Amino acid sequence: MSVFLQFLFSGLTIGAVYAMVGLGFNIIYNATSIINLAQGEFVVIGGLLMWLFSESMKLPFLISALLAILFTGLIGLLMERLTIRPVKKKDLLLMIMITIAVSIVLRGLLMFKFGKDPYTYNPFTEGDPINIYGAYIQQQTLWVIGITSLCIILMYLFFNKTMLGKAMKACAVDPTAARITGINVERMVMISFVMSAMMGAVAGIAVTPITLMEYDRGPMLAVKGFCAAIMGGLGRGRGSVIGGFIIGILESLTAGYIHSGAKDAVALIIMLIILFFRPAGIFGSKTIIDLRRF
Amino acid sequence: MGILRIICLSILSVLLLMPSVCPAKEAYKIGAILSVTGAASFLGEPEKNTLIMLQEQINNAGGINGNPIEIIIEDSKSDETQAVLAAKKLLEKDKVLAIIGPSTTGETMAVIPTMNSEKTPLISCASASKITEPVKERYWIFKTAPNDYSAAEAMFKYMKDIGITKVGILTITTSYGDAGRMAMKDTAPKFGIQIVAEERYGPKDSDMTTQLTKVKASGAQVVVNWSVGPGQIVVTKNWHTLKLGIPLYQSHGFGSKRNINLAGKAAEGIKVPLGRLVIWDKLADSHPQKGLLKKYTTDYEARFKSEPGTFGGHAYDALMMLVEAIKKTGPDKKKIRDYIENNIKNWAGTGGIYNMSPSDHCGLDSSAFEMVIVNNGDWQIIKH
């Protein structure tokens, strides 16, 4: 029993990381239909800046976190202004390719600033791991799960209850129609990049004490986070969270009961099977997907 | 006026002829192929820095018998194809006497055929034993990094001494981890040790508690983690979180003070087989490696503001062997090769005490490693 629980907790820890990264994909997708493949780099920037402010400059925890989130938001803003807005032909595939280019440039800059070594800082709360029926879970995992839940609630309220959020969603479905109704599409796209960068930074700050952070962790985070997002249904906050936890727990149970060498393969195969039966993801709606351009 | 003109002209002509009367001695050219950028840049960077620093030191001290050395460093970008191109360039265009590197096993294997057909010595900085074996087909090839087998042997020898018979292993899914797994599986039976669990994880995985729980459940008396990079810190933290109750051993990839700092108090009590480079300040003054390790590490840290690590040391040993061989035999490829094979005996380098022979082109065994325990945030040599 305690062994099974331990596998489950391990899966929760892994899944919480994926879920949190997956959330960031949804914001830009909801506003633009772009898949931002530089999302992983936002997470890395958040984690590394947090280290820079709290460990290297010795600023208090909350101020460091706030600064890290704001700076990453600024980088999101610059990314949109410098690379997405100037594009004349708003072709989706082209813009996704631009995000790949941005991720490579950001990785290079991070390597110059921070080198190739991993960084970490203390968990949010010190203290022994929590023992439940003989299995242990790190306190930081609970923090990540708590912050993820908070983010989903905030995102739900934003996209469904505020005018700004609804306007952003309208832009993704049909930018021309949105513009006719008086929505400033350019501004919505800009806000979505800033918000998604900030969401990435929050994820980075929360997961770094568990995973450590180094300049080239971005692509791996982006791939797993993206899997979580499409498994749950792109654009659905709770979807990417459920997707993240499913992938994490599958990986952990495969490692535990089959073999640790096969864990990535088995998790991906099960994800493909789910997508085969529900192409729009667990919570996604096929009708909405058909209406979208991508 | 005529006499003055003649004097002036003669002075001028003497000045002009000076270089040809007293020529600067020709530089000895040595090539280096290193993974300065790309995936293996954590190896190539300290190696490159080391060679640049040593070239300056050697030339400032008068070079080799008065001839300066010129080290031509090519970046292989951690890519096999680039490494082969670099080797061809160094051999055909620069006409180097010997080549140091490449940094990784894959790249080294790729350049071996070129080196053999061009009959030029190569001293690799990579660790796999297949680089120098079978020795018959590796006539021109040497290496300075110790075999993975030697690290595994040093670790198991110690375990045998303290009565451990059942071991669970965790390896990373990269070539480093795979080579380590092979080495452990091959050497364990020689020391009466049984491997009861064998788990793996990816280089960027964020939680290894599942694998550790399985190892514990298999009845292993110790768990060995063989990896490089952040994975070894995550394993250390998970091991500490789970209060696993069995000791954790790491591979020699753990040999950097940074790792202890990153893992914090979770690292206490971890045992590691380490080369003496990272623990030079713990060695007795009489130890033959101490003097050169102290000079190399302090010079490097003063100049580059970082640890040279074991990897920089591999380039150090390769260059110093070549320098000694050229000093004793002159700029002749065949003589350099013969000298390294037959005369590098009881030769103290950063990696250990080398004993090259026609049947061993690596020259290091398990005595290159000390068993070390992490105690109060520092390394401590285990006497056993």
Cα angle: B240, vertex B242, B244; to 5 degrees: 85
Q: Which of B239, B249, B293, B298 is nearest to B271 (CA)?
A: B249
Asked if A13 and B206 come within 8 Å (Cβ–Cβ), the reply is: yes
Give the sign of the dihedral formed by CA B292, CA B293, CA B299, CA B303. positive
CA distances from residue B135 to B119, B132, B157, B351 in whole angstroms, order as listed: 15, 6, 26, 21
Question: Which SS3 state, helix, strand or coil, does residue B286 take?
Answer: coil
**B250 close to B276: Cβ distance less than 8 angstroms:** no
The whole-angstrom separation of Cα B246 and Cα B169 is: 12
- What is the pLDDT, as a whole number, of residue B20? 47
User: Cis ω on the peptide bond leading into residue A118 (within 30° of 0)?
Assistant: no
Which B-chain residues 227-286 have CB contacts (< 8 A) with chain A? 229-230, 233-234, 241-243, 258, 262
- What is the pLDDT, as a whole number, of residue B61? 92
The whole-angstrom separation of Cα B193 and Cα B168 is: 10
Cα of A90 to nearest chain B Cα, Å: 33
Contacts of A288 (CB under 8 A, 6+ apart): A235, A280
Full residue range of the structural domain in which residue A89 is found: 2-125+139-291
B91-139 confidence digits (pLDDT tens): 999 999 999 989 998 899 999 999 999 999 999 999 888 899 889 999 9
Question: What does the buried/exposed string (b/e) look like for A222-251 if buried means 16 or more CB atoms within 10 Å of the residue's CB?
Answer: bebbbbbbbbbbbbbbbbbbbbbbbbbbbb
Asked if A117 and B210 come within 8 Å (Cβ–Cβ), the reply is: no
Q: pTM for the whole thing?
A: 0.84
Number of H helices, E strands in chain A: 12, 2
Host H or E run for residue A130: strand A130-132
In this complex, the residue of B42, B199, B207 whose CB is nearest that of residue A10 is B207
The whole-angstrom separation of Cα A38 and Cα A46 is: 13
- What is the pLDDT, as a whole number, of residue B15? 58
**A194 close to A34: Cβ distance less than 8 angstroms:** no
- Chain A partners within 8 Å of B214 (Cβ): 255-256, 260
| pLDDT tier at A291, thresholds 50, 70, 90 | low
Q: DSSP for B127-187, please give it.
A: --GGGT-SGGGGTTEEE-SPPHHHHHHHHHHHHHHTT--EEEEEEESSHHHHHHHHHHHHH
The one-letter amino acid code at B132 reads T
Q: Considering the domain B28-145+290-364 in this protein, what is its CATH number?
A: 3.40.50.2300
Q: Which of A199, A228, A239 is nearest to A14 (CA)?
A: A228
**B104 close to B38: Cβ distance less than 8 angstroms:** no
Q: DSSP E strands: which ranges in B174-221?
A: 194-201
Contacts of A106 (CB under 8 A, 6+ apart): A38, A41, A45, A75, A218
The whole-angstrom separation of Cα B38 and Cα B45 is: 10
Q: B210 and chain A: CB distance < 8 Å anywhere?
A: yes
The reply to whether CATH 1.10.760.10 applies to domain B149-281+369-381 is: no
Asked if A255 and B211 come within 8 Å (Cβ–Cβ), the reply is: yes
Arithmetic mean of pLDDT over chain A: 89
Q: Give ipTM to 2 decimals.
A: 0.85
How many residues are there in chain A? 294
Q: Select the residue from B173, B200, B210 to test the A interface by mutation, using most A Cβ atoms within 10 A.
A: B210
Q: How many domains does chain A have?
A: 1
The nearest alpha carbon in chain B to A6 belongs to B210
Q: Which of B219, B226, B166, B155 is nearest to B193 (CA)?
A: B166
Helix, strand, coil percentages, rounded to 5, for chain B: 50, 20, 30
Percent above pLDDT 90 for chain A:
48
The whole-angstrom separation of Cα A10 and Cα B237 is: 13
In this complex, the residue of A10, A116, A220 whose CB is nearest that of residue B209 is A10
The one-letter amino acid code at B249 reads Y
Mean pLDDT, range A124-134, rounded to an integer: 87
Cα of A97 to nearest chain B Cα, Å: 22
Asked if A255 and B210 come within 8 Å (Cβ–Cβ), the reply is: yes
Q: B375 and chain A: CB distance < 8 Å anywhere?
A: no
Q: DSSP for A100-119, please give it.
A: HHHHHHHHHHHHHHH-SS-B
**B280 close to B351: Cβ distance less than 8 angstroms:** no
CA distances from residue B334 to B82, B319, B329, B339, B383 in whole angstroms, order as listed: 26, 17, 10, 9, 43
| Residue ranges per structural domain of chain B | 28-145+290-364, 149-281+369-381
A154-183 confidence digits (pLDDT tens): 988 998 899 999 998 888 778 888 899 999
Residue B383 per-residue DSSP state: P
| pLDDT tier at A283, thresholds 50, 70, 90 | confident
Tens of each residue's pLDDT in chain B, 384 residues = 566 677 766 666 655 555 444 446 789 999 999 999 887 888 899 999 999 999 999 999 999 989 999 999 999 998 999 999 999 999 999 999 999 989 998 899 999 999 999 999 999 999 888 899 889 999 999 999 998 899 999 999 999 999 999 999 999 988 889 889 999 999 999 999 999 999 999 988 989 999 999 999 999 999 999 998 889 999 999 999 898 899 999 999 898 888 999 999 999 999 999 999 999 999 999 999 999 999 999 999 999 988 888 889 999 999 999 999 999 999 999 999 999 999 999 999 999 999 999 999 999 999 999 999 999 999 999 987
- What is the pLDDT, as a whole number, of residue A294? 53
The nearest alpha carbon in chain B to A252 belongs to B210
In this complex, the residue of A7, A211, A214 whose CB is nearest that of residue B206 is A211
Cα of A3 to nearest chain B Cα, Å: 7
Task: Please give the structure tokens belonging to residue B165.
Answer: 């018979």
A52 occurs within a structural domain:
yes
The nearest alpha carbon in chain A to B234 belongs to A211
CATH number assigned to the domain comprising residue A196: 1.10.3470
- Chain B partners within 8 Å of A259 (Cβ): 200
**A116 close to A214: Cβ distance less than 8 angstroms:** yes
Q: Which of A140, A107, A88, A91 is nearest to A39 (CA)?
A: A107
- Chain A partners within 8 Å of B229 (Cβ): 118
Model confidence at A216: pLDDT above 80:
yes
- Chain B partners within 8 Å of A214 (Cβ): 230
A186 occurs within a structural domain:
yes
Cα of B77 to nearest chain A Cα, Å: 15
A131 occurs within a structural domain:
no
Question: Which SS3 state, helix, strand or coil, does residue A68 take?
Answer: helix
Neighbours of B284 (CB within 10 A): 7
Q: Do B28-145+290-364 and B149-281+369-381 show the same overall fold? A: yes
Asked if B230 and A256 come within 8 Å (Cβ–Cβ), the reply is: no
Backbone φ and ψ of A33, nearest 5°: 65, 10
Q: Which residue has the tokens 């908070």?
A: A150
A69-110 confidence digits (pLDDT tens): 999 999 999 999 999 899 878 788 898 899 999 999 999 999
- Per DSSP bridges, beta strands B28-34 and B99-100 are parallel
Backbone φ and ψ of A58, nearest 5°: 60, 35
The nearest alpha carbon in chain B to A119 belongs to B262
Q: DSSP E strands: which ranges in chain B?
A: 28-34, 69-75, 99-100, 122-124, 141-143, 166-172, 194-201, 222-226, 248-250, 271-275, 347-348, 353-354, 369-375, 378-381
CA B152 to centroid of chain Cα atoms = 17
Neighbours of B24 (CB within 10 A): 9
